[in-house]
């Protein structure tokens, strides 16, 4: 079962929207990482709140079954909790440029 952690819309520099989790509701920006210098670094940097605190990163991935590109994100911040949260950005059907942040549980 997929759980929506929030919604974002495409912008010129990435995505913008809101996280809406049980313990945290905050504006969020997912921006292209213009300083990426190595493969292991994120393709996107994730910022939350009015102070633009960096809370995570996003990496471009390719789906094995469909071959489509998507963004896999990792969120880590004390306000979120003691563990990292893994999620994927997925397009919302029928809403061009709109994406849902879907929780991706990992063992």
What confidence tier does 1 reach under pLDDT thresholds 50, 70, 90?
Answer: very low
Domain range for residue 14?
Answer: 3-103
The pTM of the full predicted model, rounded to 2 decimals, is 0.87
Q: Please give the Cα distance from 24 to 97 (Å, whole number).
A: 24
Q: pLDDT value at position 71?
A: 95
Number of structural domains the chain divides into: 1
70-85: per-residue pLDDT in tens? 999 999 887 777 889 9
Q: What is the pLDDT of residue 62?
A: 93
| 47-55, long-range: CB < 8 A, 24+ apart | 48/19, 48/77, 53/77, 55/28, 55/80
Rounded Cα gap, residues 29 and 53, in angstroms: 10
Residue whose entry in the numeric block shows the structure tokens 């809403």: 95
29 or 50: which leads in pLDDT: 29
Would you state the pLDDT for residue 2? 58
């Amino acid at each position: 079962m997929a759980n929506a952690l929030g919604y974002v819309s495409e912008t010129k520099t990435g995505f913008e929207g809101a996280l809406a989790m049980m313990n945290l509701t905050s504006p969020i920006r997912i921006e292209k990482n213009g300083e990426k210098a190595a493969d292991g670094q994120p393709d996107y940097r994730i910022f939350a709140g009015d102070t633009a605190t960096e809370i995570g990163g996003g990496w471009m991935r390719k789906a094995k079954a469909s071959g489509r590109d998507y963004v896999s994100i990792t969120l880590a911040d004390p306000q979120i909790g003691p563990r990292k949260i893994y999620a994927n950005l997925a397009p919302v059907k029928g809403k061009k440029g709109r994406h849902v942040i879907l929780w991706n549980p990992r063992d």
